[in-house]
């Protein structure tokens, strides 16, 4: 049955996360942006509360073999819970949300492709005693949207691999206890040569060389990582040699990277929706409070607000649909790309229109200008808007055998 009503559990999660976002995140939002850092004591505190950013909920969808099995089980709602929670978190503050302890974007590949031993080893460290992070390192200076062009090399040696290369734009990359790093064993093999490794902090030859200063999301760490003759033991090859052997010539390392996107894009889209909603609600209150009740300005404002509202709603429902598909074990690559494309673009437009409504005063110490700076990257990371168009188009043309 078609329904846009949240289940009691979904409602409860939404309310809980919203409470946290409103009372714990918002009060430090502008200050964290100014300091370009989420205060350590705050992170310690929320970690003790057990609050984490966990994007692994999408994992089930990444395992095609599980489809039948999961369909027989009780309906899962983890993916819907994840997008609902992500929207609220980002409503509070997206930079702080992305800085919350937890496996972050590194979670899905470990969950979906890791061996049972690896899952235990890497995912069990996120405990309440101390905040810890995981990270995901794919992008390189010369390989962004075209992830198949990565140049970081993994040379097989006795007992493991030696990594050499550079990764950029890595969220929480410097503070992470481990990073899922994508590298190639042979560039001539193209995608088939890709492997995913879990590289632990402190591994000799692995270091953070730079933390980026950005337009927005300033409180969230974006690192450049360098691998210089960095030895990674064989047990840190994600999925083990078997995963790649059994895949034959299929580009399974690349698939690990791509499948991750089916999981993380709806989360990122949900965050964009949360940011847009934050700007919209903030602006709506100011319009209500400060604007005249009739005349040209009033009419402009009501039309802009109504337009924003439906844009936000539509993007949210697309996000929910991608999450629902994952929950019921159906392929969601197209819908994941669609919701990300729509939400990323919509959210920037909404923030820009909110700034227009606030006028020049909005530039001075208002949340919305920060949200505008923060939100731009949601149309870039986890696949640019153009890549989402490409993924969507490929899926649309696939039935006709045309590869675009």
Q: Looking at beta carbons only, is 249 or 310 nearer to other proteins?
A: 310
CA distance 116 to 61: 18
Please answer whether residues 212 and 222 qualify as being in contact, where contact means their C-beta atoms are separated by less than 8 angstroms. yes
Instruction: Give the three-state DSSP class for 51.
Output: coil
Residues making contact with other proteins (CB under 8 A):
1-7, 10, 22, 26, 75, 77, 80, 281-282, 284-289, 299, 301-307, 309-310, 313-315, 317-318, 320-321, 324, 328, 335, 338, 341-342, 386, 388-390, 392-393, 396-397, 400-404
Minimal distance in Å, beta carbon 143 to other proteins? 20
Minimal distance in Å, beta carbon 247 to other proteins? 28
Q: Looking at beta carbons only, is 144 or 173 nearer to other proteins?
A: 144
Minimal distance in Å, beta carbon 119 to other proteins? 28
| Token digits of residue 58 | 């999408």
Q: Identify which of 207, 331, 339 has the alpha carbon closest to the alpha carbon of residue 266.
A: 339
CA distance 230 to 181: 12
Q: Looking at beta carbons only, is 57 or 392 nearer to other proteins?
A: 392
Minimal distance in Å, beta carbon 237 to other proteins? 36
State the DSSP H helix or E strand holding residue 400, giving kind and residue range, or none if neither.
none
CA distance 136 to 119: 15
Residue 382 bears catalytic tag:
yes
CA distance 27 to 50: 19
CA distances from residue 370 to 94, 161, 351 in whole angstroms, order as listed: 10, 42, 9
Minimal distance in Å, beta carbon 132 to other proteins? 31
Instruction: Give the three-state DSSP class for 184.
Output: strand
Report the 3 state secondary structure along 138-176: CCECCECCCHHHCCCEEEEECCEEEEEEEEEEEECCCCC
Please answer whether residues 177 and 201 qualify as being in contact, where contact means their C-beta atoms are separated by less than 8 angstroms. yes
Q: Looking at beta carbons only, is 16 or 302 nearer to other proteins?
A: 302
Q: Looking at beta carbons only, is 235 or 356 nearer to other proteins?
A: 356
The one catalytic residue in 77, 88, 335, 382 is 382
Q: Looking at beta carbons only, is 181 or 315 nearer to other proteins?
A: 315
Indicate which residues carry an active-site annotation.
Answer: 382
């Amino acid at each position: 049955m078609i329904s846009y009503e949240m289940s009691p559990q979904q409602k409860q999660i939404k309310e809980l996360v919203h409470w946290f976002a409103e009372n714990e995140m918002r009060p430090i939002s502008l200050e964290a942006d100014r300091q370009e850092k989420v205060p350590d004591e705050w992170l310690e505190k929320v970690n003790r509360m057990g609050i984490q950013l966990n994007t692994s909920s999408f994992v089930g969808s990444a395992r095609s073999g599980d489809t039948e099995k999961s369909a027989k089980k009780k309906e899962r709602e983890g993916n819907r819970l994840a997008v609902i929670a992500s929207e609220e978190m980002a409503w509070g503050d997206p930079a702080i949300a992305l800085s919350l302890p937890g496996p972050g974007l590194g979670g899905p590949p470990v969950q979906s492709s890791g061996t049972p031993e690896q899952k235990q080893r890497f995912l069990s460290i996120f405990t309440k005693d101390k905040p810890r992070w995981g990270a995901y390192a794919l992008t390189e200076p010369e390989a962004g949207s075209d992830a198949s062009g990565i140049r970081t090399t993994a040379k097989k040696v006795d007992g493991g691999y030696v990594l050499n290369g550079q990764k950029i734009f890595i969220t929480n990359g410097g503070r992470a206890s481990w990073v899922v790093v994508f590298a190639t064993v042979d560039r001539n093999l193209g995608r088939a040569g890709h492997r995913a490794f879990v590289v632990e902090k402190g591994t000799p030859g692995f270091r953070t060389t730079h933390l980026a200063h950005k337009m927005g999301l300033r409180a969230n760490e974006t690192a450049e990582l360098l691998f210089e003759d960095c030895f990674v033991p064989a047990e840190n090859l994600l999925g083990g040699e078997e995963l790649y052997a059994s895949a034959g010539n299929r580009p399974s390392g690349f698939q690990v990277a791509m499948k991750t996107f089916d999981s993380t894009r709806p989360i990122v889209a949900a965050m964009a929706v949360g940011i847009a909603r934050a700007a919209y609600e903030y602006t709506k209150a100011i319009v209500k409070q400060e604007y005249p009740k009739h005349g040209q300005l009033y009419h402009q404002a009501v039309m802009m607000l109504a337009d924003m509202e439906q844009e936000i709603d539509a993007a949210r429902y697309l996000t929910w649909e991608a999450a629902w598909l994952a929950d019921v074990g159906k392929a969601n690559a197209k819908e994941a790309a669609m919701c990300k494309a729509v939400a990323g673009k919509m959210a920037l437009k909404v923030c820009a229109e909110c700034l227009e409504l606030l006028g020049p005063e909005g530039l001075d110490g208002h949340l919305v200008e920060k949200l505008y700076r923060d939100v731009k990257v949601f149309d870039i990371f986890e696949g640019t808007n153009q890549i989402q168009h490409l993924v969507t188009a490929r899926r649309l043309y696939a039935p006709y055998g045309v590869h675009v």
